[in-house]
């Protein structure tokens, strides 16, 4: 009997680790096969999804023995949290699992754009050396604006500040007196 159904892409090393202790059914395209998915979840206690599997309605009705849903990511828009709570199904998002990767991507992209490397790439690939397009600016002393100031944006702010940037952010859900704003200017969206 299957213990865990994984409906979307998951790192093979992680799947192998689970298979050391559990019977796992992993099909990265299962989210697009509703009849097969309903049949598979009928008896399993655990389901692991990303963002395409809709954990609600018919799927939850079919999952008679479901006890836990693991979400590979942080957004829970695809999971009916109220229905899960009503059935005492625990939901575990991978909060923070990829936050450093996102921070590095944001900072790296900012540097790439500031230096002009993105727009000079085609010329470089054509064998040219567009020196004037590559005379970028330094990131130190620049200002980074963030729309939203949740956990990942706060990490971006810390890294940006470590590079000598000032940071401003907009987030209507973080109170103005929250400690998170220390060293960051809170602005309205229009002013950002």
What is the CATH architecture assignment of 4-93? 3-Layer(aba) Sandwich (3.40)
Q: What is the pLDDT of residues 150-181, one digit of tens each?
A: 999 999 999 999 999 999 999 999 999 999 99
Q: Give 24-27's long-range contacts (Cβ < 8 A, gap of 24+).
A: none
User: What are the structural domain ranges in the chain?
Assistant: 4-93, 99-186
Q: What is the pLDDT of residues 48-62, one digit of tens each?
A: 999 999 999 999 999
Q: What is the pLDDT of residues 18-44, one digit of tens each?
A: 999 999 999 999 999 999 999 999 999
99-186: same fold as 4-93?
A: yes
Q: At what angle do helices 151-162 and 99-115 cross, to 10 degrees?
A: 50
Element (DSSP H or E) covering residue 169: strand 166-170
What is the CATH architecture assignment of 99-186? 3-Layer(aba) Sandwich (3.40)
């Amino acid at each position: 009997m299957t213990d865990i159904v994984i409906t979307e892409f998951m790192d093979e090393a992680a799947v192998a680790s689970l298979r050391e202790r559990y019977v796992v059914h992993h099909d990265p395209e299962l989210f697009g096969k509703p009849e097969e998915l309903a049949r598979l979840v009928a008896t399993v206690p655990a389901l692991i999804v990303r963002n395409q599997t809709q954990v609600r309605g018919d799927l939850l009705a079919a999952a008679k023995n479901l006890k836990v849903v693991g979400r590979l990511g942080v957004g829970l828009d695809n999971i009916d949290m109220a229905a899960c709570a009503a059935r005492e199904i625990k939901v575990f998002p991978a909060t923070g699992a990829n936050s450093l990767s996102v921070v590095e991507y944001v900072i790296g992209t900012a540097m790439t754009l500031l230096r002009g490397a993105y727009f000079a790439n085609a010329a470089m690939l054509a064998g040219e050396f567009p020196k004037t397009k590559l005379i970028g600016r330094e990131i130190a002393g620049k200002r980074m604006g963030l729309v939203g100031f949740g956990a990942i944006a706060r990490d971006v702010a810390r890294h940006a500040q470590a590079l000598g940037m000032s940071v401003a952010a907009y987030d209507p859900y973080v109170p103005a007196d929250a400690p998170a704003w220390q060293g960051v200017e809170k602005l309205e969206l229009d002013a950002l």
